[in-house]
Chains A and B, each alone.
Chain A
Amino acid sequence: MKHQRKPCSLEHARFLRARKKNLAIVWALRIGLLVLLLGIWELVTAVGWSDPFLTSSPSRIAKTIAGLYSDGSLFYHIGVTLAETLIGFAIAVAAGCLIALALWWSETLRKVLEPYIVVLNALPKIALGPLIIIWFGTGSKAIVFMTVLVGIIVAILHMLNAFIATDKNKILLLRSMGASKLQILLKLVIPSSLASFISMLKIAVGMAWIGSIMGEYIVSRAGLGYLIVYGGQVFKLDLVMSATCILCVLAAGMYFLVVLLEKVLVKNPDS
């Protein structure tokens, strides 16, 4: 937030104070809601209204995570899943953007490939699970492939739409200056798609987690998705809940990194 050094009127000071107060209330309620929910959860299991064997509880989750940490497997599993997610995310975004560029460049290519992309987009990627196992084995490679598969189509479609939506009049302007297609791409299409690129990243983050966890459900022997499946199979719901909580934190963290990137990349000249 920008602080104005200019002397401001009393009314403006009141406005700023009210705004600050409102923000503080929102944050207090957000945290309060979390504490309340965790408290109720803990309480109903503690007084025996619900069976912690089925619903787990915050204290048991904390204990489970502490246990994973002390036997050294916590960061191993987090590391495995994080690596798969990030690699898959990076490949999906990079390849998605390149393919979208190619499709923007050639209208014929776009028309030819359109039905294939539509079908691939509609296809539930999990249906390809068995194929992926056979082609890539049961290691991280298969999971990264699944992550890419889930993310890439969305990345392609999102970026292609952004490229195609480039202002026609600005293209006309550049053409009247004698610009080549490459110049139009570099000077106009790519810079004007920056905002869409960021919103695509936000979607792709979610897709990457879906892909990696789905991949681990199918094949893995390590990672948070593996812990969830394993925990479910042996009825250790504490483990399932713990891994889910860690996932929430990681996914939120990655999303906020993208938001941070947005703040750095997208300069808002109005402010």
Chain B
Amino acid sequence: MKKEMLRFSSVTYIYHTVRGETEATRGLSFTVEEGEFVAVIGPSGCGKSTLLSLAAGLLKPSEGEVTRSGSCGYMLQRDELFPWRTIEKNLYLPLEVSKQNSPELRRRAKDLAVKYGLGEFLQSYPPQLSGGMRQRAALIRTLATDPDLLLLDEPFSALDYQTRLNVTADVAEIIRSEGKTALLITHDISEAISLADRVLVLSGRPARVSYTHELDFGDLKNPLKRRESAGFSGWFEILWKELNQ
């Protein structure tokens, strides 16, 4: 059996505000295994981002338990590159913060950037790059500390459609070839199908896992190829129905 990278065991999370309390999740349980790419889809406002904050350890569950083996890297909707830093300095940010700013790790981050086509932009500032390039830089930044688990919070939703398809393919390739485990949150069904090994469908608030699907694309990992494949529309229909229940 494969190693478990992340486990939610009947996790309940309650938001407290002056107006009252809101259950974001109730009895939420699932696992993510090593090397897996898991996508979570759910109706908007169902507490998808809460789920990632719980996974990252930024929030503590009100009930239940979140266990994670190893470190994690967080990738957000927008690239959130610091405009006053060059791309290279942006890549070193997580190293500086976690005090592992060694020449070896800097070297590694830089090599990753070069390997994935950011070599000529290392000394540029973020506003000089296209949206797609910036999101790619954000992914390399996330990978700089060599995290065991990637948490992706709708990382493509701020991009225009064409860029989005291309960047999704890029990012999928990078994550697969670096052998990373990933948990993707998205509201985009086709994105989930084109990327994931497994799709979890959340219910409306309070969120629970209402369906789990192992996608049967076999070795077909390329998101663009998946979109063209025969099984794609079938999965879309199934997930669409489940999401709208």
For the complex, give the distance between the alpha carbons of A177 and B80 in Å: 13
Task: Let me know if A124 is at the binding interface, CB within 8 A.
Answer: no
Q: Determine if A170 and B127 form an interchain contact, defined as CB atoms under 8 angstroms apart.
A: no
* B98 to A, closest residue via Cβ: A178
Instruction: Evaluate whether A187 and B78 lie within 8 angstroms (CB atoms) in the complex, with A172-B58, A176-B56 already known.
Output: no
Chain A residues with Cβ under 8 A from B30's Cβ? Answer: none
Per-position binary interface string of chain A over residues 255-271, scored 1 when its CB falls under 8 Å from any chain B CB and 0 otherwise = 00000000000010110
Chain B residues with Cβ under 8 A from A170's Cβ? Answer: 80, 82
In the complex, identify which listed stretch (B89-97, B174-182, B193-201) lies at the interface while the others stay far away.
B89-97
Instruction: Evaluate whether A173 and B84 lie within 8 angstroms (CB atoms) in the complex, with A178-B98, A183-B97 already known.
Output: no
* B71 to A, closest residue via Cβ: A178
Chain B residues with Cβ under 8 A from A269's Cβ? Answer: 83, 124-128
Chain B residues with Cβ under 8 A from A192's Cβ? Answer: 82, 84
Chain A residues with Cβ under 8 A from B80's Cβ? Answer: 167, 169-170, 173
Chain A residues with Cβ under 8 A from B13's Cβ? Answer: none
- Chain A at the B interface: SS class: helix
Task: Let me know if A188 is at the binding interface, CB within 8 A.
Answer: yes
Report B35-79 residues with CB < 8 Å from chain A CB. Answer: 53, 56, 58, 72-74, 76-78
Task: Let me know if A63 is at the binding interface, CB within 8 A.
Answer: no
Chain B residues with Cβ under 8 A from A267's Cβ? Answer: 84
Per-position binary interface string of chain A over residues 183-198, scored 1 when its CB falls under 8 Å from any chain B CB and 0 otherwise = 1000110011010000
For the complex, give the distance between the alpha carbons of A179 and B145 in Å: 13
Task: Let me know if A174 is at the binding interface, CB within 8 A.
Answer: yes
User: Of A173, A187, A191, A194, which is within 8 A of B76 by CB?
Assistant: A173
Task: Let me know if A30 is at the binding interface, CB within 8 A.
Answer: no
Chain B residues with Cβ under 8 A from A179's Cβ? Answer: 97
Chain A residues with Cβ under 8 A from B84's Cβ? Answer: 191-192, 194, 267
Task: Let me know if A175 is at the binding interface, CB within 8 A.
Answer: yes
Q: Determine if A270 and B128 form an interchain contact, defined as CB atoms under 8 angstroms apart.
A: yes
User: Of B82, B98, B126, B128, which is within 8 A of A177 by CB?
Assistant: B98
Q: How far is the CB of A197 from chain B (nearest CB, A)?
A: 13
Report A129-145 residues with CB < 8 Å from chain B CB. Answer: none
User: Of B58, B78, B125, which is within 8 A of A175 by CB?
Assistant: B58
Chain A residues with Cβ under 8 A from B124's Cβ? Answer: 269
Report B144-163 residues with CB < 8 Å from chain A CB. Answer: 145, 151
Most buried by B among A170, A173, A174, A188: A173
For the complex, give the distance between the alpha carbons of A191 and B93 in Å: 14
* A171 to B, closest residue via Cβ: B80
For the complex, give the distance between the alpha carbons of A269 and B90 in Å: 15
Chain B residues with Cβ under 8 A from A176's Cβ? Answer: 56, 58, 72-74, 151
* A179 to B, closest residue via Cβ: B97
Known interface pairs A169-B76, A173-B76, A192-B82; 5 further A-B residue pairs with C-beta atoms within 8 A, sorted by A's residue number: A167-B80, A175-B58, A176-B151, A177-B93, A269-B127
A-B CB contact pairs (8 Å), 17 listed: A167-B80, A170-B82, A172-B74, A173-B76, A173-B80, A174-B97, A176-B73, A176-B74, A177-B74, A177-B93, A177-B94, A187-B93, A187-B97, A267-B84, A269-B124, A269-B125, A270-B127
**Nearest 9 Cβ contacts at the A-B interface:** A269-B125, A176-B74, A177-B97, A179-B97, A177-B94, A173-B80, A176-B56, A170-B80, A191-B84
